[in-house]
Structure 1
Amino acid sequence: MPKLTRRQFFKFTAASVAASYLAEKQAFAKDNENDKTYPLMTAGAATSYGICHFCSVGCGIEIKTKGNEIVSTEGLKNHPINEGALCPKGRSLKEMHNSKLRLTYPLVRKPGSDKWEPISWEDAISKIANKIKEVRDNTFEKTITTKDGKVVKVNRVNGMFSLGSAEIDNEEAYLYTKFNRALGVQYYTHQAEI
Structure 2
Amino acid sequence: MAHVPVPGEHSPSPDPAPVDTHCPYCSLQCGMALRPVPPGGPGGGTDGPGGGTDGRPGGVEVVERTAFPVNRGALCGKGRTAPAVLSSRVRLTEPLVRRPDTGRLEPATWEEALDRIAEGLESTGRAYGRDAVGVFGGGGLTNEKAYALGKFARVVLGTSQIDYNGRFCMSSAAAAHQRAFGLDRGLPFPLADVSRTGCVILVGSNLAETMPPALRYLTELKEAGGRLIVVDPRRTRTAEQADLHLAPRPGTDLALALGLLHLVVAEGRVDEEFVARRTSGWPEARAAAMAHWPELVERITGVPVPELRKAVTMFCDAESSMVLTARGPEQQSKGTDTVGAWINLCLATGRAGRPLSGYGCLTGQGNGQGGREHGQKADQLPGYRKLDDPAARAHVAAVWGVEPDDLPGPGRSAYELLDALGRDVRALLLMGSNPLVSAPARPMWSPGCGRWTSWRSRTSCSRRPPRSPMWCCRWPSGPRRPGP
Normalised by the length of structure 1, the TM-score is 0.57
Give the drift of 1:126. 0.4
**Which residue of 1 is the match for residue 23 of structure 2?**
52
One of 149, 163, 166 as aligned partner of 1:189: 163
Please give the alpha-carbon distance, in whole angstroms, between the structure 1 residues aligned to 2:64 and 2:161.
Answer: 35
Instruction: Point out the structure with the larger helix share.
Output: 2
Give the drift of 1:179. 0.9
Larger Rg: 1
Q: State which drifts further: 59-68 or 126-135.
A: 59-68
Please give the alpha-carbon distance, in whole angstroms, between the structure 1 residues aligned to 2:138 and 2:125.
Answer: 19
Q: 1:69 to 1:165 in 2, by over 3 A?
A: farther
One of 177, 180, 183 as aligned partner of 2:150: 177
Tell me if the contact between 2:98 and 2:105 (Cα under 8 Å) persists in the aligned partners.
yes
One of 4, 23, 36 as aligned partner of 1:65: 36
One of 98, 108, 122 as aligned partner of 2:87: 98
Please give the alpha-carbon distance, in whole angstroms, between the structure 1 residues aligned to 2:77 and 2:124.
Answer: 38
Structure 1 residue 128 corresponds to structure 2 residue 139: no
Q: 1:103 to 1:52 in 2, by over 3 A?
A: same
Give the drift of 1:127. 0.4
One of 93, 103, 109 as aligned partner of 2:98: 109
Please give the alpha-carbon distance, in whole angstroms, between the structure 2 residues aligned to 1:133 and 1:71.
Answer: 41
Instruction: Point out the structure with the larger strand share.
Output: 1
One-letter amino acid matched to 1:169: T
Deviation digits for residues 100-133 of structure 1 (CA, Å, limit 9, x no counterpart): 4423211122235253321111110000001111
Normalised by the length of structure 2, the TM-score is 0.25
Please give the alpha-carbon distance, in whole angstroms, between the structure 2 residues aligned to 1:74 and 1:124.
Answer: 37
- Secondary structure of the residue that 1:61 maps to in structure 2? strand
Give the drift of 1:94. 1.3
Please give the alpha-carbon distance, in whole angstroms, between the structure 1 residues aligned to 2:160 and 2:110.
Answer: 28
Please give the alpha-carbon distance, in whole angstroms, between the structure 1 residues aligned to 2:119 and 2:27.
Answer: 31
Report which structure shows greater RCO (CA 8 Å, sep ≥6): 2
Q: 1:189 to 1:160 in 2, by over 3 A?
A: closer
Tell me if the contact between 1:136 and 1:159 (Cα under 8 Å) persists in the aligned partners.
yes
Give the drift of 1:50. 0.8
Tell me if the contact between 1:55 and 1:192 (Cα under 8 Å) persists in the aligned partners.
no
Tell me if the contact between 2:121 and 2:133 (Cα under 8 Å) persists in the aligned partners.
no
**Which residue of 1 is the match for residue 134 of structure 2?**
160
One-letter amino acid matched to 2:163: T
Identity %: 32
Tell me if the contact between 1:45 and 1:66 (Cα under 8 Å) persists in the aligned partners.
no
Q: 1:138 to 1:109 in 2, by over 3 A?
A: same
Please give the alpha-carbon distance, in whole angstroms, between the structure 2 residues aligned to 1:137 and 1:54.
Answer: 38
- Secondary structure of the residue that 1:97 maps to in structure 2? helix
Tell me if the contact between 2:62 and 2:80 (Cα under 8 Å) persists in the aligned partners.
yes
One-letter amino acid matched to 2:95: P
Gaps of 5+ in 1: 1-42, 141-155
Q: 1:159 to 1:79 in 2, by over 3 A?
A: same
